[in-house]
Amino acid sequence: MPGGPARTGSLHLPLAGTPVQALPDPGPLRRPGGGPVQRLGLSPFHRLRPGPGTVGIRGIVKIAIAGPGAMGCLFATYLAEAGHQVALLDHDRQRARRLAENGITVEGIRGRHRARPAVTSDAASVGAVDLFMVWVKAYHTADAVELHRAAVGPDTVIFTAQNGLGNPQRVLDKLPAASVVAGTTTVGANLRAEGRVHHAGEGDTVIGAASPGAAAALDGIASLLGDAGFPTTVATDIAGAVWRKVVVNAGINPLTAILGVENGRLLELAPARRLMEELAREAVVVASGQGVELDEQEAVALVVRVAERTAANRSSMLQDISAGRRTEIDAINGAIAALGPAPVNRAVAELVRARERLAGGRD
């Protein structure tokens, strides 16, 4: 995400795990100061819906979060503080053991927070959860869902707000009957070290149904995230929201990674700015071909505004290149070029892949 050094989310191994004690059933959920919440049987999140004359229904929710990166650790910490039962799932057995022993520290805009959620690479030890959040890189989505599918039961709702295009479909390819909620977020965080997160900025989260069975869960998830400090809006056009974020990422991230510059430098270098704007225009045309109509002028202006607001920041793609990691170029500019005629997006995607190889992030 251009809001780096913050890393954000957006819509996407078979190791033995470090066992943790199975999370207990929270028992009957209760209204604030009142009796038990009626379980409607449609979705576990119906119990979180506001009822007539109430501020909102709150209860303990059992949550699994795949991916102990910046966003996974950030959400795990604040959701645990909100009183939910949180398990962090990691494909790396040794790292899971260290995180379980040392806990998670989040520092930044909300001060300093410490959390010790259950951490494991063995999803079976956690069991089926109410909410399964996917916070791995887009190219690891399918593997993460497959590895941790023991945490997904018939009533589990799967949430993805990762960067790029196609993440909900990657989930559904593995679990065709799943209830999948897609989203975008402008919350900013970066991983300073293992289990140490810098919360760089607050932001807005937008969610919507990515599968027919997910619509009933939206209000409850929005309430749950809001209570943890993540203001969340339910969108009727989640595809449009996802594409708008993709347009921004496509315009800024690859150029910063290729040039090795902070976001704001793209506005100061006339050739880079022209490329940034053309990347956005191409993305708008491709989105239209996918049935998502975006205003070209508004999209270009949005990319420029984000570059201005995050001028001093290093994009997540630049961070990945600098660290010798694989980037999410295939899910952003590469995905745009794969969906329609987008020669500039195709060219910059190839350049980023070349940078990855030079940096050792891709074979």
- Element spanning 218, H or E: helix 218-227
Nearest-angstrom CA–CA distance, 100 and 96: 6
Structural tokens at position 242:
């996802």
62 catalytic? Reply is: no
CA distances (Å), 136 to each of 211, 263, 273, 283, in order?
20, 23, 30, 24
Which amino acid is residue 241, in one-letter code? A
CA distances (Å), 152 to each of 47, 105, 137, 308, in order?
19, 27, 19, 41
Among candidate residues 132, 125, 131, the one with its CA nearest the CA of residue 21: 125
Residues 67, 90 contacting (CB under 8 angstroms): yes
Alpha carbon 35 to its chain's center: 35
Structural tokens at position 142:
């399918």
Which among 62, 137, 174, 245 is annotated as catalytic?
245
Alpha carbon 297 to its chain's center: 27
Give backbone dihedrals phi and psi of 58, rounded to 5 degrees, phi first. Answer: -120, 145
Residues 120, 90 contacting (CB under 8 angstroms): yes
- Element spanning 205, H or E: strand 205-209
DSSP secondary structure string for all residues of 27-50 = -S-B-TTS-BPP--SS-GGGGGSP
Q: Which residues are catalytic?
A: 245
